[in-house]
Amino acid sequence: MPSDPAPLGHAPQDVSGDWLPAGPERELLRAALVRLEVAEMGSQAYERAAALAGVGRCYRRLNALRTAEDALQQALRWAHASRMQDLEVDLLCELAECACLLAEQLGEAEFRGSHAALERARDFAFEASVLARRVADPQWERSTLLRISDVLSRCGDHDDAAWLTSRALSLMPGGTSRG
């Protein structure tokens, strides 16, 4: 598995992806980095957030989880600046999933790093659960809560995961109202 490249500060100048073996993942990353470069030339916060999110997703697929998390956190800052709450919630879910994967990857061999990643995963998940209440679409909120519940369950927070699952089920037709 490839190791993480240098952290993102902005669009990397070298988009060759030489650290990757040739293949579709490399081409997807190249395209995402080019999109980011183009977005950085503009002034639209949403475009930058979307481009950084794409870069983060590519790094996550490549199992370069620290770099993925960095790109997703940058995307979250731009999403917040663009006031796109649905994008913020989605990015928080992705960050929670990414941090949880990192914790699993580090395991017992790197206890402190693993513990810190689990704490970040929990923080991202809880922030997403709070913001999810503000979306207008109950079906989207329900799927988001179930996504967060899965992360919390993988983090060992089974009670909180069950509570979020219950909250999600209450949003189904015939369930109790939001509250």
Q: What is the pLDDT of residue 2?
A: 38
Cβ count within 10 A of residue 94? 22
Q: Is the pLDDT of residue 15 over 90?
A: no
**Does one domain contain both 100 and 162?**
yes
Q: Quick one: three-class SS letters along 88-127?
A: HHHHHHHHHHHHHHHHHHHHHHHHHHHHHHHHHHHHHHHH
**Does one domain contain both 90 and 172?**
yes
**Does one domain contain both 61 and 73?**
yes
62: its two tokens = 């490549």
Overall number of domains in the chain: 2
Residue range 110-138: average pLDDT? 92
Domain boundary among 47, 82, 117: 82
The Cα–Cα gap between 137 and 128 comes to 15
Confidence tier at 22 by pLDDT (50, 70, 90): low
**Does one domain contain both 56 and 97?**
no
The Cα–Cα gap between 139 and 56 comes to 26
**Does one domain contain both 124 and 113?**
yes
Q: What is the pLDDT of residue 4?
A: 43
Please classify residue 154 by burial: count the beta carbons closer than 10 Å to its beta carbon, then call 0-12 exposed, 13-18 middle and 19+ buried.
Answer: middle
Domain boundary among 48, 64, 82: 82
Domain boundary among 50, 82, 114: 82
The Cα–Cα gap between 148 and 160 comes to 10
The Cα–Cα gap between 49 and 135 comes to 19
Confidence tier at 109 by pLDDT (50, 70, 90): confident
Q: What is the mean pLDDT of the chain?
A: 83
What percent of the chain is modeled with pLDDT above 70? 84
Q: Is the pLDDT of residue 76 over 60?
A: yes
Residue range 25-30: average pLDDT? 79
Residue range 1-24: average pLDDT? 48
Q: Is the pLDDT of residue 24 over 50?
A: yes
**Does one domain contain both 55 and 91?**
no
Q: What is the pLDDT of residue 17?
A: 53
Question: Domain containing 117: what range?
Answer: 84-179
Show the DSSP H helices in the chain as ranges. 24-41, 45-61, 65-82, 85-106, 111-132, 138-154, 158-169
Residue range 89-97: average pLDDT? 96
